[in-house]
Each structure stands twice: as C-alpha cells, then as structure tokens.
Copies of this chain bind each other. A is one copy, B any other.
Amino acid sequence: MSTVEVSAQAVDECINALARFGAYGDTGVWRTVYSPEWQAAQHELARWCREAGMDVRWDAVGNLWARLEGTEGGDSIVTGSHIDTQIPGGRFDGTLGVVGGFLALRELKRRFGPPRRTLELLSICEEESSRFPKSSFWGSRAITGDIAVEEFESQRDGDGVSIGEAMRSVGCDPGALASARRADIDVFLELHIEQGPVLEQAGVAVGVVTGVSGLHRYAVEVLGRSDHAGARPMDSRLDAMIGAAAIVLRVCETASAMGRPAVTTVGKLVVEPNYPSAVAEKVSFTIDVRHPDAEVLAELCRRHEVAVQEETSRRGLGVHVTKLLEVPPAPCDPALVELLTDVAAEQSVTAPLVASGAGHNLQELGKVARTGMVFVRTAERGDGPPVTAPDAAEGAGLLAAAMRRLAY
C-alpha cells in the first residue's frame, strides 16, 4: 500500500496565502469571525476547494463545507478546524487544520479518485471567542444544535455589535440556523498545532491526541480585613493576601506533584484595596484545573477545595468559592486513536499519544461524531517560526492516510 504524502511546500504556500488576510505585524494574523478579512479568507479557501473539484457550500452561520461525494453515500468523514484568530494570533493556530485537511482531500482525490465514503472539509467559522467573548465553539455549536436563538442578540462584540448583525453583514442568515445542524457525520478528524511543549520536548514532529482535558474553573474570594500596614501587628491581622498566596502555592504544588497531564493555574488575581500601605481586605482569583481523566480531575478539584478551606480557616479568613466552568473531558474515539497510530507506524512516523490541555472544536463535535486528533509540534519562542512546514506536512500526511483508510 503506497503512502499518501502532503508536500511541505504546498503547506507553506497555503498557510502564507491565508496569512495575508488580516496580516498583523511580521508574522501575526488578526482575523476575527465575520470581519471582512475573515470573509475574504473563507472565500479564498472556497475558491481553492472548487478548483480541486470539491462541492462547496456555506451553512447558515458561515461554516464552509467542501465535499467529495462518496460512491456508497452514508455518513461523512469530516476534517477541518477554524480560521478565526486570537487578537492577534499566529498563522498556524486553527488554519493549519483547514489547510492540512484541504491538501489531504485534494491529494486523495488526485491519487485515488472519488472516495467510497463521503469526505468533507470543514472550515469552522469561530473557535477563539476573540471577538464575541462568550461565543466559543459557535460554528461547531451550530452543527450540533447547541446555539440558543437568544444568542444572536445577546452575544455582543466590544463595539456593541450583536453576533446576529455581524453574521448578516457577511451574508449569513441567523434565521436559517436549524439548517446548519448535521446528524450525518460519522467521524471528525482535526489537525492542530500543540501550543505546548510536549512534542518538542519529546523530539517528535507529531502526536496522536487521546482526548481533550476536562476543565473545572473556580472563582475564589478570600476575605480579610484592611488595616494600616504600620499600625497593625502581624499577629492580629486578617491579611487576605497571605491566605491567597498560601492557596496559590498549595494548589499549584498539588497539580505539580500529581504529574503530567494534571495542570492547575491561577492566572487572574485582583487585590482590594490594593494600596502599598494597606493590608489586603479581599483577594479574588481564579483556579483553572484540567485533566483528561474525569475521576482524576474530580480528585484534583476535591484537593483544591480542601486547600482553599484549610488555608483560609486556619488564618481566620472568610472565603467564597464559585464554580465558573465544569467542562467534562472529551476523549477521542479509541478506534480512531488506534487508526492514527497505525497509519503513523505504516509511514514510519513516530507519533506518541498525547493529551490536549487546551480546548478544541472536537469537544463540541464529539457530541454528534466520533473524533480523532493529530497534534503538530510547536517550538518554544525563539527566532524561528513556531511551526515548520515539514512538521505540518507530516501531520497532514497522517490525516490523509487515516482518511484513505476510512473512506476508500
């Protein structure tokens, strides 16, 4: 069986071509959903797909679908990712999955003709929530039926524009939302950059993702008493800063001691009144906890909750804890993990199993399809590009080989 290859040069050309839409600084891209540059990039991609002989259509929310009809019909094998970016984002985040999927489908069609089962490329309109802060997975949610009609009005960007208005400005039709739903997707495969150091540290270009970590997020308020920093002795203070610091250290050390892939992060913290000469009255912070195994995640959260209670009560401090998020782990389909591992071995590519700590569209699409994911190595910050074209091409090659097995 001959291997399927995606050329590094083709990846490079496509990534650079799309990076021109919303180019920001030397290497960045600023391309939020429903912006003119986003619309132009989606249309450029549609042009490529048509030229490659795919049937192209838009759904109601602006997801782009490009189809190679299967001779036997049935549910689709879909691949893709998102082309909206952070503000600004890099040229590979999301886009690589769309470009890699496009090149894989084009190559499969060129070499093997029409597939037995239907293959589709999906360029998802939104993932980053960078324009509409609460819109995460908007494009995928349209497909799974998880958008509430009220959101067209309630979701607003920084200028007060509703997501419904923004959609209409680029020719989308909020009223046709129901038509975006799909119940005929068998498999969704996503190629994405890792955005972490695991593959680089392991010295490999690609990895097969076992699933996306569950995410629990807490808002904690430690409540003390503000006092004069000079007049109040240490022994009679109720210093919210000390309580918060003890919690930060303890929860982070707990996750560290548990080892990979457990992660706990206190990334946001606000002090009141926040004066150099005033003992802190209130310190508010988030605790972000992630693990791919639901039971281990629950245990980690339990230990954190104990830490918050113990570190505050032993200091006589008050505390309010609120759960902000409780997203369960989204494991990939074991058969697809095995398939991706098999085709990697077949192509003599080392592709270890890795967990994804970051969220991805397959979490949402996993509600209606079996999912699989390939990660491409991301370099630590340095002078070079964060992702190399040969690494990206190796990932796209895995995707192509897996789709060949599934669809031919």
* Residues of A that sit less than 8 Å from B by CB: 194-198, 201, 213, 215, 217, 225, 227-236, 239, 241-242, 244-246, 248-249, 252, 255-256, 259-271, 273-280, 286, 288, 290, 324, 356-359, 381
Is there contact, CB below 8 Å, between A230 and B263? yes
Report the separation of the CA atoms of residues A194 and B233 in the bound assembly, to the nearest whole angstrom: 12
Contact partner, A267, options B234, B256, B265, B276, Cβ 8 Å: B276
The answer for the CA separation of A273 and B276 in the assembled complex, in Å, is: 21
Stoichiometry, as copies per complex, reads: 2
Residues on B with beta carbons closer than 8 Å to the beta carbon of A280: 266-267, 269
Task: Choose one: B249, B261, B262, B356; the contact of A245 (CB below 8 Å).
Answer: B249
Closest-CB distance, A102 to chain B (whole angstroms): 25
A276 touches B288 (CB 8 A): yes
**Closest residue on chain B to residue A229 by CB atoms:** B265
Asked if A266 and B252 make an inter-chain contact with CB atoms under 8 angstroms apart, the answer reads no
- Chain B residue numbers with a CB within 8 Å of A269 are 241, 269, 271, 274, 280
* Cβ-defined contact, A275 with B279, below 8 A: no
* Contact call B230/A359, Cβ cutoff below 8 A: yes
Residues of chain B within 8 A (CB-CB) of A264 are: 234
B268 touches A228 (CB 8 A): no
- In the complex, which residue of chain B has the Cβ closest to the Cβ of A213? B230
Pair B197/A232 contact, Cβ less than 8 Å: yes
Question: In the assembled complex, which residues on chain B have CB atoms less than 8 Å from the CB atom of A262?
Answer: 234
Q: Please state if A279 and B267 are interface contacts (CB–CB under 8 Å).
A: yes
Cβ–Cβ < 8 Å partners of A201 in chain B:
236
By a CB distance below 8 angstroms, the chain B residues around A198 are 233
**Which residues of chain B have C-beta atoms less than 8 A from A229's C-beta?**
263, 265, 267, 288, 290, 357
Given known contacts A234-B262, A269-B271, what 11 new A-B pairs fall within 8 Å (CB)?
A231-B356, A233-B263, A234-B255, A235-B256, A241-B267, A241-B269, A245-B248, A249-B249, A266-B280, A268-B274, A269-B280
